[in-house]
Amino acid sequence: MVSTLAPLRPSSASIWQALAEVPDPELPVVNLVELGIIREVEWVGDNLRVTITPTFAACPAYEVMAAQIEERLYRLGATQVEIRVRHEPHWTSEWIGEEARLKLKAAGLAPPPHHSCDFIQVLLDPVACPRCGSINTSLRNSFGTTPCRMIYTCNDCKEPFEQFKPL
């Protein structure tokens, strides 16, 4: 008689840990969990369902993200992965964790300022240069190399830098 043992399901903790190894395709210094993009993980039968909330509606990195999430979870032992996109509640930069903010800064990207739901209130606040810390900086462009970034110049150290947009 052949006995078939059901393969062991990866635990919730190991799933979250694996997902924390998936880098953001455009900002590889931070991962999808600490950016707040991964919202929920649940088993639906044998299906591992991952709910994600992309930052900007037109984020061009979405498909790469989805493929990387699937690949990582299959490697962990999931047999079926389903990725669902949810925009309610919509993504806010308030979901970016403190550690991720430090990583962004170390990579030369000013983290988004904190706000209480209404980011318009902080849009005109001074933005500190991630290199020298000066707040004598000027906005060069509301759009940077991706929809989620803006371009600034530091008037003191003269370096241009990007800021992750508050949203």
Partner 1 sequence: MKQALQKPLAQYLIALADDELILGHRNSEWTGHAPILEEDIAFANIALDEIGHARLWYELAAELSDEDKRTFPDKQVFFRPEQEFCCLQFVELPKGDWAFSMLRQYLFDALEAQRLKGLIKSKQKPLADVAAKINNEEIYHLRHTRAWVRRLGLGSKESQRRMQAALDELWPYAQALGARLPGELELVEEGFVPSSSKAFGLWKKEVSAFLKEADLKTQEAKVHEVDRAVHSEYFEVLVKDMQEVAQTEPGASW
Residues that bind partner 1 (CB under 8 A): 56-60, 87-88, 90, 119-120, 123, 140-147, 151, 165, 167
With respect to partner 1, which residue has the nearer C-beta, 42 or 63? Answer: 63
Instruction: Give yes or no for a contact between 28 and 106, defined as CB atoms under 8 angstroms apart.
Output: no
DSSP code, position 100: H
Least Å distance, CB 144 to partner 1, is 7
With respect to partner 1, which residue has the nearer C-beta, 85 or 102? Answer: 85
Least Å distance, CB 150 to partner 1, is 8
Least Å distance, CB 142 to partner 1, is 5
Tell me the C-alpha distance between 114 and 67, whole Å.
31
- Pairing relationship of beta strands 160-164 and 149-154 according to DSSP bridges: antiparallel
With respect to partner 1, which residue has the nearer C-beta, 55 or 68? Answer: 55
Least Å distance, CB 3 to partner 1, is 40
- Residue 84 burial by CB count (10 A; 0-12/13-18/19+): exposed, middle or buried? exposed
Tell me the C-alpha distance between 132 and 82, whole Å.
44
With respect to partner 1, which residue has the nearer C-beta, 88 or 98? Answer: 88
Q: Which element (helix H / strand E) includes 149?
A: strand 149-154
